[in-house]
Structure 1
Amino acid sequence: MNPLLQDFNTAPFSQIKPEHYKPAIQKGIEIAKDEINAIVKNTDTPTFENTTVALDFTGSKLGRITSIFFNLNSAETNEEIQKIAQEISPWLSEFRNDITLNKALFKKVKTIFDAKENLDLTAEQQMLLDKQYKGFARNGANLKEEDKNKLREIDAKLSKLSLKFGENILAETNAFELHLTNEKEVSGLPESVKEAASQLAKEQDKKGYIFTLHYPSYIPFLTYADNRELRKKMAIAAGKKGFQDNEFNNEKIVLEIVNLRQQRANLLGYKTHAHFVLEERMAESPEKVIEFSNNLLEKAKPAALKEFENLSAYAKKLDGIEQLQKWDGAYYSEKLKKELFDLDQEILKPYFKLENVIDGVFEIANRLFDLKFEEVNDIEKYHEDVKTYNVTDTNGNFIAVFYADYHPRKGKRNGAWMTSYKSQQTKDGINDRPHVSIVCNFTKPTATKPSLLTFNEVTTLFHEFGHALHGMLANTTYNSLSGTSVSWDFVELPSQIFENWCYEKEALELFAKHYETGEVIPMKYVEKIKESASFHEGMQTLRQLSFGLLDMKWHSENPSNIKSIKAFEKEAFAETKLYPDVAENCMSTAFSHIFQGGYSAGYYSYKWAEVLDADAFEYFLEEGIFNKEVATKFKENILSKGGTEKPMVLYKRFRGAAPKPDALLKRAGLLKIE
């Protein structure tokens, strides 16, 4: 009996074996096809209910199965699962095309769409119909048969290529280790970092210390290791992922992906992939994104150049460094920050025990949105590290299931993300609540210390939890408009605004307590955290803009003549470059956001959402960071609404006006206040 094909509420992880996936997905596709056929063969006149709504509720079984599979392929993968992913991705791509290229189905959808003015639809119903129609039109429904077949081929290739891209990066990340046995080589590293590296060595029956390219190991090494040559070795190893002469090289894959995306866009009548993508975003066009990015660049670049000049002078004064390199940036920045603000990340860490930060996040969600989190042990987990919670409101109503997976391991990709095992929807009068998960890569507990987070990791946890709130508080009718199913440049607003509470005294006092003494974080540290928040913000802004502009360059121009990825990238980075180029390194071959994740032609949205989040948080600052009225407006107009209306409409309803960049520029210290 296949557990994935039984009716289940929470995912039955303990019963699932790899051999269950393929037959379950085949059956899921079969069931979904039958549901589609029932709509197509219905001889009644097409209506909003029997066509638009019926279509939205198809494929739920398949959705549940694939969400489990792909979530595990990111968080707990192995060679067997990766092999299955390569096999099933073309099936799913083909199935999606079977829907959007189904003439009879599109005819029914178009009939409703053409009659929408006479249907007296709610805003949410209009949005569903609009999204559905565009889903067909923008994915080839109006194409000739020959072109539909070309589209199918392109989509099947793209799904396999992005999987392969990600597998190569994970393999490269896992393949590198820096094994050190000489105590001098770990000079400068905090005790907690050395202890974690020593534990890793012991696990492999080795002496000394092992450092890897996983973030909790790599970032502290680059930040604190005194040995410049070893920092260089680590930085170059990280920078050449997917760019080495081996089986995991991603150069051909990148070129194939961008060219296939361009061909797909052209086939659908768009100039480039970016024109196709951005038509359905708040930004609307590549021209607007580039203008937005260049405006910010104009404000940030003078500050960034000045900061870089100061940092270079500091490194020269301290250690005689003639030319600051990429592997020097974090090291000297941390030293300078410590000197300027008397703030050491290591002094802060004891106040950020993971469990306390989790409690703090929950308490803030309770004060703002009336949520309660209860850890439970009767929900199955895919790994012993995972924590599971029942989420209710203060009246005891069930809101969501919440999974949290905090520590790195071999089968887990780097970074942090929020995902979902089940979306919220309202069907047959029942509000079916969501199952939401966040996955992070935070420092593990050691033999002598609990998991103590850097301040950066604290903001990461708040960020992903903001996404989770967007999923958990969803309260819509239709599955495809629920939770984080919003414009990609709007999806980062709930996550980025939530980071702001990490900097506020009232919020920090709830959870920033010394793990040994229970002492609340001293006020002087809180002031220094706030004071230093805009430290090197010019350089940080330049870095983010450089990634967004690289993404735009890949996707808003015709890529067919690009021969060298490295040369193309150097040109894209020309306006944002601070450090000398490293010949062995390449960003694009490991740029998972745009070649594996969903951010192609969308990386700018981090900065775009920062404008929204700074403007939105300004409202909280004006009224009080725990002001119930503002929080309720945010919950009701942003968090619960998903994609049921256009983002700007929702935002204005919350804020009363369109967002202005002033709050962001002020927060970043890039706006000169007279």
Structure 2
Amino acid sequence: MSETLQTAAAPEAGANPLLQPWQTPFETPPFAEIEPEHFLPAFERAFADHAAEIAAITHDPTLPDFANTITALERSGKLLSKVAAVFYDLVSAHSNPAILEIDKEVSLRMARHWNPIMMNAVLFGRIAMLHEKRAQLGLTAEQMRLLERTYTNFYRAGAGLDEAAKKRRAEINERLAQLGTSFSHHLLGDEQDWFMELGEDDRAGLPEAFVAAAKATAEERGMAGKAIVTLSRSSVEPFLKSSSRRDLREKVFKAFTARGDNGNANDNNATIVEILALREEAAKIMGFATYAAYRLEDSMAKTPEAVRGLLERVWKPARARALADRDALQELITEEGGNFSLAPWDWRYYAEKLRQRRADFDDAAIKPYLVLDHMIEAAFDCATRLFGITFAERKDVPVWHPDVRVWEVKDAAGQHKALFYGDYFARSSKRSGAWMTSLRDQQKLDGEIAPLIINVCNFARGANGEPSLLSPDDARTLFHEFGHGLHGMLSNVTYPSLSGTSVFTDFVELPSQLYEHWQEQPQVLRQFAKHYQTGEPLPDDLLQRFLAARKFNQGFATVEFVSSALIDLEFHTQPAEASRDVGAFEKAELEKIGMPAEIALRHRPTQFGHIFSGDHYASGYYSYMWSEVMDADAFGAFEEAGDIFDPATAKRLHDDIYSSGGSRDPEDAYVAFRGREPEADALLRRRGLLEATPAA
């Protein structure tokens, strides 16, 4: 798409809703008015405006001070933030071929815009001068944190490099932006292209609710009257748990794990090789031996060795538990007369059978009680009881798809706090997974700016007017993403760069994973888990069996995750040359750690969007587990108080964790809340792995 074509096709600026004030409730994006062709002209204007703002700061003739340099930087780029937030929401949650084509160009243009800003020697000189004399500037704690983060971000972007190194670093950034976009587009392409139709004979073992959801998915794809399995995790995992057709389980599993690895136009192997080589080169330009060393320097973990230490500590008992469970599953197969060895596509199916036997519980029994709407109410109610905020649905706020719902959030005094958008159902225009993002972040630099926070999930829709029913994992995901949402909604900082989830990657999962704990509390489930047909509350015996079964199969779940985190770490600590054959590298690393053959990585490399569709979690997938050490320990504060909604503990949680954003050092924030550093064994206790069987 050439620039001349863009300009020729561009609508008049006056007609571009992205460049006008939004006359909508709470000045929200008017999605119905926004067309794909509006984005490139809007980005052009936003890039130009931002460049002019940066030039004014850089060439300010007065001596640098906090206001004319750091605060001015915080005020710059408002239009760019506004346009980009809308665009990337659509790219991820409701794309189409036109949007994806524009994404290819925007990713490159974004890199070309930011490189000269972040490597601007004159601008960095102003920031460095302030940083050097920061103790004499009389700054508030938040201002000091902002100055330190600004200096660090510019330094790590290469602002202190010589011109030749800057030029090469900029070229690498541009190419990585293109490759990350290609990776995510390839993955979406493979996911969109594949489905498996379920004939009457193909439905053996599948619960009615799953078949109903499969029919709803088919209808959404224009195949009314049929039922299909797609490559959305919310479709694949329940199928693998329930289907008694081993041949179909194998077919679905192999398609799911082959995404991005099919030798077709969507193949990601070459993309990964180039990404890893460029990241390694960028790290060496910055003076680091490996990309992992570069990335982790600016994290809570600090070093690859610290990450590996945590992962290996968890790996050993998790692998031991998984091997013991594997043997029990194989015995079950033999007992049933099966003449085959347990395979990865069998694990979930037989684990469900074993769980029913050992804990007298299976997901299908509780699913009718986990109605999506009721679980949303539960997430809201817990937030009300903890933090005093309330939620009221709004029908007058524009949305990007008819499925999206919006709630106005008010604080305990009844004042407007935020808007919360929930986009819960899987569809072909949405990438897989679940995530939180924002259309606008909270800040107080120029008056109170209330945030617009989004949760996106991929739950299966109920068919024929039936409600959507969640698995326990789905319900946990809903609370997890809502925890991220609260981090954005409760943010109470002055500066945009420190707002909400603008924290270290290995701290950002604390508010989300901590919030999961409330979803499985008996008093919450007794109130909100009600049968979708009868309205009857969850029977107490089923509740007790559910709670007892929570630690079942944790060896599998932990092995699945930790192996992926270790692969991520190895990709970014070993020389890039070692992974030129991605499949061989994957195989060798799994052999090295003794990966059970019957368990697959949670994310095989060619579909590992966390680390390859951008760099946010590159060398950082371990972050979920690093945060879990804190969240398992943090919930203990409520348990010790004897009340999961204890007001004093909730106030500390609000003030020190959820509302402080990136305005303070995360270790200081945690200690302020808990009174001490986290106790590492809390994670192993939570997962039931402290007394695992010794490894074979």
Give me the TM-score of the superposition, normalised by structure 2.
0.94
Matched, 1:547 2:564: yes
Question: 2:215 and 2:140 mapped to 1: Cα distance?
Answer: 60
1:6 to 14, 17, 20: 20
* 1:319 CA displacement: 4.0
Aligned to 1:74: 92
* 1:581 CA displacement: 8.4
**Contact 1:243 1:586 (8 Å CA) reproduced:** no
Residue deviations 1:375-409 (CA, integer Å, cap 9, x gap):
00111100000001110012111110110000011
Aligned to 1:664: 683
Question: 1:89 and 1:593 mapped to 2: Cα distance?
Answer: 17
**Contact 2:215 2:463 (8 Å CA) reproduced:** no
Aligned to 1:470: 487
**Contact 1:473 1:640 (8 Å CA) reproduced:** yes
Matched, 1:501 2:518: yes
Alignment of 1:301-450 (within 5 A): 301-428=319-446, 430-447=447-464, 449-450=466-467
> Alpha carbons of 1:416 and 1:51: their partners in 2 closer, same or farther (altered >3 Å)?
same
* 1:12 CA displacement: 1.5
What amino acid sits opposite 1:475 in the alignment? N
What amino acid sits opposite 1:659 in the alignment? P
What amino acid sits opposite 2:165 in the alignment? D
**Contact 2:347 2:599 (8 Å CA) reproduced:** no
Aligned to 2:656: 637
* 1:338 CA displacement: 1.5
Aligned to 1:560: 577
Question: 2:600 and 2:519 mapped to 1: Cα distance?
Answer: 35
What amino acid sits opposite 1:48 in the alignment? F
* 1:195 CA displacement: 2.3
Alignment of 1:483-502 (within 5 A): 483-502=500-519
* 1:278 CA displacement: 0.5
* 1:595 CA displacement: 0.5
**Contact 1:542 1:576 (8 Å CA) reproduced:** no
* 1:314 CA displacement: 1.7
Question: What is the percentage of aligned positions where both structures have the same residue?
Answer: 39
Q: Which moved more, 1:56-65 or 1:73-82?
A: 56-65
Partner SS, residue 492 of structure 1 = helix
Q: Which moved more, 1:481-490 or 1:286-295?
A: 286-295
Question: 2:429 and 2:55 mapped to 1: Cα distance?
Answer: 39
Question: 1:40 and 1:207 mapped to 2: Cα distance?
Answer: 63
* 1:209 CA displacement: 2.9
CA RMSD of aligned residues (A): 1.7
Aligned residues: 670
**Contact 2:379 2:519 (8 Å CA) reproduced:** no
What amino acid sits opposite 2:167 in the alignment? N
Aligned to 1:130: 148
* 1:667 CA displacement: 1.6
**Contact 1:417 1:464 (8 Å CA) reproduced:** yes
Residue deviations 1:88-144 (CA, integer Å, cap 9, x gap):
111111111111111211111111111112112222111111111111111111111
Partner SS, residue 241 of structure 1 = coil
> Alpha carbons of 1:175 and 1:664: their partners in 2 closer, same or farther (altered >3 Å)?
same
What amino acid sits opposite 1:219 in the alignment? E
Question: 2:113 and 2:226 mapped to 1: Cα distance?
Answer: 52
Aligned to 1:655: 674
Aligned to 2:138: 120
Residue deviations 1:568-605 (CA, integer Å, cap 9, x gap):
0012222151125899x991011111111421000001
What amino acid sits opposite 1:375 in the alignment? E
Residue deviations 1:267-289 (CA, integer Å, cap 9, x gap):
11111111111011000011110
What amino acid sits opposite 2:581 in the alignment? S
* 1:316 CA displacement: 2.2
Q: Which moved more, 1:278-287 or 1:8-17?
A: 8-17
> Alpha carbons of 1:201 and 1:282: their partners in 2 closer, same or farther (altered >3 Å)?
closer
Question: 2:437 and 2:64 mapped to 1: Cα distance?
Answer: 35
**Contact 1:254 1:589 (8 Å CA) reproduced:** yes
Partner SS, residue 414 of structure 1 = coil
Partner SS, residue 669 of structure 1 = coil
Matched, 1:109 2:134: no
**Contact 1:163 1:596 (8 Å CA) reproduced:** yes
Aligned to 2:267: 249
Question: 2:422 and 2:52 mapped to 1: Cα distance?
Answer: 35
Q: Which moved more, 1:591-600 or 1:313-322?
A: 313-322
2:311 to 280, 285, 293: 293
**Contact 1:543 1:576 (8 Å CA) reproduced:** no
Partner SS, residue 425 of structure 1 = coil
Aligned to 1:573: 590
Partner SS, residue 85 of structure 1 = helix
Question: 1:582 and 1:42 mapped to 2: Cα distance?
Answer: 56
Aligned to 2:296: 278
> Alpha carbons of 1:640 and 1:349: their partners in 2 closer, same or farther (altered >3 Å)?
same
Aligned to 2:68: 50
**Contact 1:444 1:450 (8 Å CA) reproduced:** yes
Give me the TM-score of the superposition, normalised by structure 1.
0.97
Aligned to 1:616: 634
2:191 to 150, 170, 173: 173
What amino acid sits opposite 1:591 in the alignment? F
**Contact 1:324 1:579 (8 Å CA) reproduced:** no
* 1:321 CA displacement: 4.4
Matched, 1:258 2:272: no
* 1:499 CA displacement: 0.7
Q: Which moved more, 1:223-232 or 1:334-343?
A: 334-343
Aligned to 1:184: 201
Partner SS, residue 375 of structure 1 = strand
Partner SS, residue 389 of structure 1 = strand
Matched, 1:143 2:158: no
Aligned to 2:10: none
Partner SS, residue 505 of structure 2 = coil
Q: Which moved more, 1:118-127 or 1:467-476?
A: 118-127
2:214 to 178, 197, 201: 197
* 1:506 CA displacement: 1.2
**Contact 2:632 2:683 (8 Å CA) reproduced:** yes
What amino acid sits opposite 1:47 in the alignment? D
**Contact 2:367 2:472 (8 Å CA) reproduced:** yes
Question: 1:29 and 1:199 mapped to 2: Cα distance?
Answer: 42
Question: 2:368 and 2:464 mapped to 1: Cα distance?
Answer: 15
> Alpha carbons of 1:186 and 1:308: their partners in 2 closer, same or farther (altered >3 Å)?
same
Residue deviations 1:461-499 (CA, integer Å, cap 9, x gap):
000000000000000111111100000000000100111
Matched, 1:159 2:142: no
Question: 2:226 and 2:456 mapped to 1: Cα distance?
Answer: 30
**Contact 1:173 1:241 (8 Å CA) reproduced:** yes
**Contact 1:546 1:576 (8 Å CA) reproduced:** no
What amino acid sits opposite 1:504 in the alignment? Q
What amino acid sits opposite 2:319 in the alignment? K
> Alpha carbons of 1:311 and 1:368: their partners in 2 closer, same or farther (altered >3 Å)?
same
* 1:210 CA displacement: 2.0
